[in-house]
Each structure stands twice: as structure tokens, then as C-alpha cells.
Amino acid sequence: HPTPTTLPPHPSECLSAMMFPPSLASRTQRFERSLSLHRLLRLISFVTVVFFAIQLWSFAIVSSNAKHNLRFPPNHLHTKKRKTPAALQFSPACHPHYKVGIIGDNRTGSTTWSTSLPFTRIYFYHVRKAGGTMLRKFLKKVSLTHNIHLEIQENKYAREEIGSHPGTMYVSNLRDPVERSISHFKYEGRWNCRQMIKNASQYIPTLQNAKNVDDWDQTGGFVSSPCDQPFSFNECAVNCYIQSFSGHGCSRDDWKTQFTLAQERLFQYNLIFVYERFKDPNYVKAIEQFFGVDKAFNQESNYWCGPEAKQANRLYPLTTKFESILKLEHLNAMDTRFYKEAASCWDDDVAEYSFPKASADTFAPQNISKITGDAY
């Protein structure tokens, strides 16, 4: 066999060998591998940063939801479920109802619920400086329209047990705790309301005899609520809701026990009026239909010392420092949580009020109806 002839190298190979000698080609390959490794490390670093950023973002969302007790999505009708009491799964501010409480066992005090009994009486626990005077006037109209009894409780705590009076509808009112506290200060904390009425010629409100809002920082307004007796809602600046619905003015565990007691009581009510909703015409309509009256809500009403306090605050407007508001927010943290869990059940922009409407069988007229506990 003839010996194979070795072909000469292609001109391009010669040119490559001339331009890239073996040593230079090896360095080029090492550089390319190093560059690829550098790019890979940068990619891994970028993916790691993105991963941790997503984790932090998710944690912030979960923490925000837990902190502020955000609402359920719209398919839950803008409400929050509660585990207690078992028979009522929604806040009565969001889902008012016509269930009638009945004490079933005198030994345990357990409450059962009935939908077959009409209402013969309304019990209204009036929370001060949350639209309560207007609500008194409204509920009087309800009482007179249906010829049923009306019991109004103010100044003390919400002491009537659910179901202790047959056929009773239980209602109360709430407002943002800090806004309510400042309003209470302007009403009878800044100046002595009693003196403005009984000693008007001698006691004239001025900036010199006005009290400081920074001193309005106690459970009893300027002083602490007594621990050896039930809470009395006269003057109050801090955690007033928890005190009102638990009956206790002191706490040994940062208000946790009182919070639970107050919430269990409140969530057995039939309806909670929410002050911030009073200007919403749809809310007003839903409330009036719930009670079976027309054009009776938001009627102008006067209250004791109201004109005098308003005039004094018009002459000397209250200037509240940002630090003072932050201080009240901190002190009312538990009351704010209490308020939000009861009343934060609608979206800010769109609110749907799925309240039941009164029928001819909702209220049972009485031969003689009475309105008791009304101080003004």
C-alpha cells in the first residue's frame, strides 16, 4: 500500500497559529473560564439577594396583618371571625343580629340564643364622647315607635349580663379611642364643666385656668381608676373601653385579662354603633332599617355642659402636639386593638352593610313602655 500523503496545513490554521501561539491560547482559555466563573458568582449573589428580599417582604406583610388585624377578603363580607362566643361568629358592629340572649343555666350563667322571641326592651350602654347623646335621642324614637322599654346606662360600667332580662336587645357605641379621649378632655377635662354651669359668673374659662392635655394620661383621666371598686366611667383617658366592658379599672397582666372579659361581653351584644360611620348615608339607612324607623338618625341633640364647653374651646382652640397624640396612642394600645377587632370590618373605599331589616315581628309592643336611666 502506498504511504498516505500528509496534506499541508490550511492557510487559516497557519494564520491562527501565528496570531495565537500555544501559550497565549492557554491564557485566553483560562481568562474565559475565570470570566465565566465570575459571572456565575455574580448570578448566584443576585439570586440570593432577590430571595432574601422576597422573604423579608413576605415577613413584613405577615407581620403587618398580625399587628393590625387586617380584614378577611371580600368573600367574607368584610368581617372578621371570632372564636368566642361560639354562637356568634361575627362582630355585632359588622353583623348586627336579632338573636335574643337567654340565661340557660343559673349555676353556670351560660347564655343560649333564640330567634323566636321578639324584643320588648333595649339596653343601651352609652360610651361617653362617641355620639351617645344623639343615639339616646334616636333610641327614644325607636322605643316610642314600637312601644317597648328602653334602659340607658352611663357613667358606670356595662354591668347588665346578657340574657338577665328576657327579650332585651343590647346595643352600645364605639369611636377611635384616641379621638374619643381628646374629645373627652375638651368636654370636661380642660375646664371644670360643673363650675362653668353652677358658678358661671365666677368661673370663666381662660388659658390660665385650662388644664394641660399632657396630664390627661390616666385610666381615670388625670388620676388612676381605683382598684378596689368597679370601674365608673366619669373621666377617662386610657383604655376606657376595656374598663367599661370588663368592669375593672386595674390590671396585673397588661390588660390581657380585662381585654378578654370585655371582648366576650361586647361580642354578645346585638349591635355596636360605629361613630366614624355616622356620616355615611348608606350606614344611616342600614341602621334605621335595622330598628324599623325612618329619618330618626343623626338628629341634632344637646347635652349637659355641651354649649359651655364648645364655646370655651371656640374661644381658646386646643393645640395638641404630635408628641401628645403619640403618647395617647401608646397608652391606648389595648383599647385601639379592642376597637379595631370590633369595628374595622369594612374597606375604606367601599362599605357594604348587610344588616337585617326589622319586620312586624321584631319588636313586641308593651302595654306601658318605660324609658329609664335617662339623665338628660
pLDDT at 100: 87
pLDDT grade, residue 46 (50/70/90)? Answer: confident
Rounded CA separation 312/375 (Å): 23
Instruction: Record the pTM.
Output: 0.75
> DSSP E strands: which ranges in the chain?
100-105, 110-114, 121-125, 149-153, 168-174, 271-274, 371-372
- Residue 15, pLDDT above cutoff 90: no
pLDDT at 116: 76
Exposed e or buried b for every residue in 344-362, given b needs 16+ CB within 10 A?
Answer: bbbeeeeeebebeebeeeb
Rounded CA separation 275/52 (Å): 43
Q: Please state the separation of Cα 132 from the chain's center in Å.
A: 18
pLDDT grade, residue 115 (50/70/90)? Answer: confident
Q: Which three cell numbers stand for residue 282?
A: 348608606
Least confident range of 4-18, 66-80, 129-143: 66-80
- Residue 79, pLDDT above cutoff 90: no
For the chain, the average pLDDT equals 82
State mean pLDDT over 61-89. 38
Q: Which three cell numbers stand for residue 127?
A: 360610651
pLDDT at 347: 65
Report the SS3 class of residue 363: strand
| Contact (Cβ atoms closer than 8 angstroms) between residue 271 and residue 133 | no
User: pLDDT digit string (tens) for 250-271?
Assistant: 999 999 999 999 999 999 999 9
